[in-house]
């Protein structure tokens, strides 16, 4: 299970990417995150992030009636959201490269590194 502190900085960017792929509603986002290996992310964790993204103009929300039952709130990405997502991808690329390099240089881990 990924610790929540580690997820904190990346969840918004990941949600943006999921929304970018197609118009989607809240519950589907948590299911998508689960499919990609993020574990159980509660709706209550996702909802405030969606609110912040909407407030910052990164996504828009529209209510649609569904055949299955009550109307649902669908989210779609905006131009601003696209721009934020590009920045997130660039930052994530830098971070993941740095972390991977750090762990690669540590190998082989057999206690001989500092001699």
Partner 1 sequence: MDRKTAELNRLNNETDALLKGDYQRAITDIVCILRLKNVDDYQVEVIRNDVTDLLLRSQEQGRSVEEALGGDIRSFCDTLLESAGKKSFGAVVLENLQSVLVCLLILTGLSFLSSTVGKLVICLRTGTAFDWQWDITAGDVATWLVLSAAVFGILYIALSSPSTGKPTRRRRWESLAFGVGVTGGCLLLAWLSAAYLPGTVLRLPAAAAGAVYLLAAAVFLIHSLRQRRRSADA
Distance CA 106, CA 97 (A): 14
Q: How many CB atoms lie within 10 A of CB 59?
A: 25
Residue of 43, 82, 94, 113 interacting with partner 1 (CB under 8 A):
43
Instruction: Please name the residue that has the structure tokens 């206690």.
Output: 111
Residue of 34, 52, 86, 89 interacting with partner 1 (CB under 8 A):
52
Q: Is 26 in the site for partner 1 (CB under 8 A)?
A: yes
∠ CA 15-16-20, rounded to 5°: 120
Stretch that binds partner 1, among 12-20, 38-46, 79-87, 105-113 (CB under 8 A): 38-46
Positions in the binding site for partner 1 (CB under 8 A): 26-27, 41-45, 47-48, 51-52, 55, 70, 72-73
């Amino acid at each position: 299970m990924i610790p929540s502190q580690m997820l904190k900085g990346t969840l918004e960017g990941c949600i943006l990417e999921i929304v970018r792929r197609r118009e989607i509603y809240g519950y589907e986002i948590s299911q998508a995150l689960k499919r990609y290996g993020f574990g159980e992310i509660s709706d209550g964790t996702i909802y405030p992030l969606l609110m912040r993204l909407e407030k910052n103009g990164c996504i828009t929300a529209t209510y649609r009636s569904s055949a299955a039952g009550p109307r649902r709130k669908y989210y779609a990405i905006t131009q601003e959201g696209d721009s934020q997502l590009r920045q997130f991808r660039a930052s994530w690329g830098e971070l993941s490269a740095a972390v991977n390099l750090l762990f690669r240089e540590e190998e082989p881990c057999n206690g001989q590194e500092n001699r």
